[in-house]
Copies of this chain bind each other. A is one copy, B any other.
Amino acid sequence: MHRTKVRVVEDALDANNTIARANRDDFDRHGVGVVNLMSAPGAGKTTLLERALDGLPGDVRAGVLEGDVAGSFDADRLSLLHIPVAQLNTGNGFGGECHLDANMVRTALPSLPLADLDLLVIENVGNLVCPAEFRVGEDARIMVCSVTEGEDKPLKYPLMFRACELVLINKIDLLPHLDADVDRLLANLDAVNPGVARMLVSARTGEGVDAFREWLTAVPARVGAAA
């Protein structure tokens, strides 16, 4: 059988990916490395950011885009770090969406001084399903899984655990008080995303946060090298 070569126009009709690419172009133009931080509600994204962004090297100027259904509680907390923080509420004008998409992020970009940033962290809405389905123009996706959520979560929400380049296993300070089995959690993680980078951390005690900060610090350099 003779096969003709078919050129696949990938995602040609996907408006989200088109806008994500436009976001990405803007980020590249300004030399900003961008991470999309995702987790279930209450897994500790904001507390981790408070810890990790405080103490970044002086040449890594960070900003945060906060995604929430309602309120600006996390943005208010992070603004204490004296870095640019913009709040994006999916409840106002976006129908109470349970995730950020590329268009929402694009709407918020004018609120951020991209030219003055090296690293932008986009903190997504707390949700283990839909955020994984929407690229927003990021360079890397990080997810936070708290040990309190149970070791079965990679198997129950495989897309989210597959979609990320780094998995932070948070709240390890609580392990002595839980029945959770971290080895099984990590085995379940490897079952859906074999060998994905992972760090055991405690936003509360600070354990493992230095390694996470180093990872974040390297994002702008990796982006620059790829450009």
Once the chains bind, are B98 and A130 in contact (CB under 8 Å)? yes
Interface readout for A45-89 with B: 1 if CB under 8 Å, 0 if not?
Answer: 000000000000000000000001111010000000000000000
- Within A107-132, the residues touching B (CB, 8 Å) are 125-130
* Separation of A97 and B178 alpha carbons in the complex (Å): 30
A42 interface residue per 8 A CB criterion: yes
| Contacting residue for A98 out of B73, B96, B98, B177, CB 8 A | B98
**Chain A interfacial residues counted at CB < 8 A:** 36
* Separation of A152 and B127 alpha carbons in the complex (Å): 16
A159 interface residue per 8 A CB criterion: yes
Main secondary structure of the interface of A (DSSP, over half): loop
- Provide the residues of chain B in CB contact with A158, threshold 8 Å: 69-70
Once the chains bind, are B71 and A156 in contact (CB under 8 Å)? yes
Q: A70-B157, A126-B157, A127-B129 are in contact. List 17 more A-B contacts (CB 8 A).
A: A40-B126, A41-B128, A41-B157, A42-B149, A42-B150, A42-B153, A70-B155, A71-B156, A73-B155, A96-B159, A125-B129, A130-B130, A146-B148, A148-B148, A148-B171, A173-B177, A174-B174
27 contacts between A and B (CB under 8 A): A40-B126, A41-B128, A41-B153, A41-B157, A42-B146, A42-B148, A42-B149, A68-B156, A69-B156, A69-B159, A70-B155, A71-B156, A73-B152, A96-B133, A96-B159, A97-B129, A98-B98, A98-B129, A126-B156, A126-B157, A127-B127, A127-B129, A130-B130, A148-B171, A173-B177, A174-B174, A174-B177
**Smallest CB-CB A-B distances: 9 pairs:** A42-B149, A98-B129, A148-B148, A40-B41, A41-B128, A177-B177, A42-B150, A98-B130, A73-B152
**A residues neighboring B (CB under 8 Å):** 40-42, 68-71, 73, 96-98, 125-130, 133, 146, 148-150, 152-153, 155-159, 171, 173-174, 177-179, 204
